[in-house]
């Protein structure tokens, strides 16, 4: 059994080569470029961990790990176009560096290449894995569409936001684990519990991400605290405040979003604190973390085999930076 850090190192070694043909370089260099600007590689390592929970790591798990990381990068290239984002991880986005047309096509090629890594897996696993992959890939697209739809709306319910986050973020984490488990010979029951572990962990992770944007330590957070507030982004915190604050506070929130005063972040944060949104968010995060860990408990393998996943969950969700 390996720790997350060990598998991450092994994956980086395995993944750190060119995944595309040389020519036409105008298409494939941009695709390769985004793979070189880093990333946490959480999804592929989850696939490997889901696999190792049941058996020695199978060669197919490596192919699927590469496939999910390519899929994730495909979605980043296209999402960055839609969000008109100039930077990702402090570097130029693909469309900003190479133009929108090439970025569309490089994303397409990345998605096809993800399927070509699935093609490499053995026939006995191919059909099941392809089915899970397709279902997840469609859900991620649906999540991105809902995210764009919500930006145009004044209000979004907590339930709607939760559903969007689940599709856009959680299902790929969950499915990475499940595909690894299936390759490891997991029973359907075990595979589904592992999927639910990943799905709930993903929601907890997003709640924390929203929380840190408002209440994180600027020195540790690595991006501008209050960025979501400045851009009027709908987050767990903002939606809960809009749903639960008293009438006067709701009115103030609306005005702050319309008028963008220079002390907007401080004022919104003080409304959040008055409405105890910070405590609510931490409780909600913990409840999803507990749901996740409950499903991990239900996976019928020796407790010690689950140590690495338990540690990873704690690391991902309880960080304060």
Binding site for a copy of itself (CB under 8 A): 21, 23-24, 26-27, 78, 81-82, 101-102, 104-105, 107-109, 111-113, 115-116, 118-119, 123, 126-127, 130-131, 134, 137-138, 141-142, 144-146, 148-149
Q: Kindly tell me which of 38 and 131 has the beta carbon lying closer to a copy of itself.
A: 131
Task: Evaluate whether 296 touches 302 at the Cβ level (below 8 Å).
Answer: no
Query: Backbone phi, then psi, for 92, in 5-degree steps?
Result: -55, 135
Closest CB 180 distance from a copy of itself, rounded Å: 19
Rounded Cα distance, 99 and 26, in Å = 11
Q: Which is nearer to a copy of itself, 160 or 278 (CB)?
A: 160
| In the complex, minimum distance from the CB of residue 109 to a copy of itself, in angstroms, rounded to a whole number | 5
The secondary structure of 138-171 as a DSSP string is HHHHHHHHHHHHHHTSS---HHHHHHHHIIIIIH
Could you tell me the smallest distance in angstroms from the CB atom of residue 188 to a copy of itself? 18
- Compare residues 97 and 310 and give the one whose CB is closer to a copy of itself: 97
Based on CB atoms, which residue is closest to a copy of itself, 131 or 222?
131
Smallest distance from the beta carbon of 100 to a copy of itself, in angstroms? 8
Nearer to a copy of itself, 140 or 292 (CB): 140
- Report the alpha-carbon distance of residue 19 to residue 117 in Å, rounded: 10
Q: Which residue has the tokens 């390996």?
A: 2
Shortest Å, Cβ 130 to a copy of itself = 5
How large is the angle between the packed helices 59-82 and 100-119, nearest 10 degrees?
160
Residue 37 CB contacts under 8 Å (≥ 6 apart), including other chains: 88, 89, 91
CA distance 153 to 242: 14
């Amino acid at each position: 059994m390996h720790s997350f850090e060990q598998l991450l190192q092994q994956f980086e070694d395995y993944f750190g080569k060119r995944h595309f043909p040389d020519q036409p370089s105008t298409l494939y260099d941009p695709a390769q470029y985004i793979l070189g600007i880093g990333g946490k590689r959480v999804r592929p390592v989850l696939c490997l961990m889901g696999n190792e929970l049941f058996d020695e790591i199978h060669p197919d798990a490596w192919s699927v790990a590469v496939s999910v990381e390519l899929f994730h990068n495909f979605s980043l290239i296209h999402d960055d176009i839609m969000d008109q984002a100039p930077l990702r991880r402090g570097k130029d986005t693909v469309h900003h560096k190479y133009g929108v047309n090439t970025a569309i096509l490089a994303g397409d090629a990345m998605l096809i290449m993800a399927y070509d890594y699935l093609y490499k897996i053995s026939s006995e696993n191919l059909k099941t894995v392809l089915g899970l992959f397709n279902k997840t890939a469609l859900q991620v697209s649906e999540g991105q569409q809902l995210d764009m739809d919500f930006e145009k709306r004044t209000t979004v319910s907590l339930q709607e936001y939760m559903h969007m986050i689940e599709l856009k973020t959680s299902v790929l984490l969950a499915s990475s684990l499940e595909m690894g488990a299936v390759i490891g010979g997991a029973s359907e029951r075990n595979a589904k519990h592992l999927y639910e572990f990943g799905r709930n962990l993903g929601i907890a992770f997003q709640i924390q991400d929203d929380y840190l944007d408002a209440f994180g330590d600027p020195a540790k957070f690595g991006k501008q605290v209050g960025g979501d507030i400045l851009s009027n982004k709908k987050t767990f915190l903002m939606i809960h405040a809009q749903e639960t604050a008293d009438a006067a506070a709701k009115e103030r929130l609306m005005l702050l979003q319309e008028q963008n005063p220079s002390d907007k972040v401080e004022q919104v944060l003080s409304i959040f604190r008055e409405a105890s949104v910070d405590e609510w968010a931490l409780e909600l995060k913990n409840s999803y973390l507990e749901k996740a860990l409950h499903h991990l408990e239900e996976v019928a393998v020796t407790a010690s085999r689950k140590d690495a996943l338990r540690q990873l969950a704690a690391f991902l969700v309880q960080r304060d930076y």
